[in-house]
Amino acid sequence: MNKLEINLLPPELNISKKESLRKKLVFRTSFGFLVLTILATIVLFALVITKNFQLNNKTSSIETLVNSINSHKEQESLASVLRARVNSINALLKKESPEVEAYNLITILMPPNVNLINLSLDKNRKMLLTGETSNFALLDSFFTNLTDPKIHLGRINGTSINSLSVTQGSRVKFDLTINLASSNGKI
């Protein structure tokens, strides 16, 4: 059987009720979307703050490392300068000066009882020597040593007598000019 429905309510009320339900649905949906948006914003904001904090920590650790590297660079450059100075000092200590080499050569070639009074060496490797001895035989022996390449091993290019005199005490005084040879920085 057919049921018969009787609706005594005015149709405006029905329409108003439907409209009210639709508004509630839109309001609830909008409110839910708003809550989700606020939650997403809070999470995103917290994430940004966390990442910013991590970035600041990394930046400060990078700055610390850069300062440490710069400090090590300064220490390395100082060590390099000191190493170069030590190498220079060692090279100077190993190398004899021309004056020392000239003096050593003359003392090797000079016979006993010939006294050295003055010795000078200029940049052109010319040596001026003043000395004295008790007799001419010792002077002759010294002059032979200075002029014989077998004895001085080619370390002398030439020798000349500038002056020769006999003092009151029968001492022979002499002035010589000696031209030293240079071979690889050695006399």
**Interval 63-113: pLDDT, tens:** 999 999 998 999 999 999 999 999 988 887 787 777 778 888 888 899 988
Contact present, 156 and 182 (Cβ < 8 Å) = no
Exposure of 52 in the CB half-sphere (CA atoms within 13 A): 6
Provide the residue ranges of all domains of the chain, joining segments of one domain with +. 10-95, 98-180
pLDDT at 52 over 50: yes
Which residues, listed in sequence order, are joined to residue 166 by a DSSP beta bridge? 172
CATH number, domain 98-180 = 3.30.1360.100
Give the integer Cα–Cα distance in Å for 110 and 176.
Answer: 13
What pLDDT score does 95 carry? 77
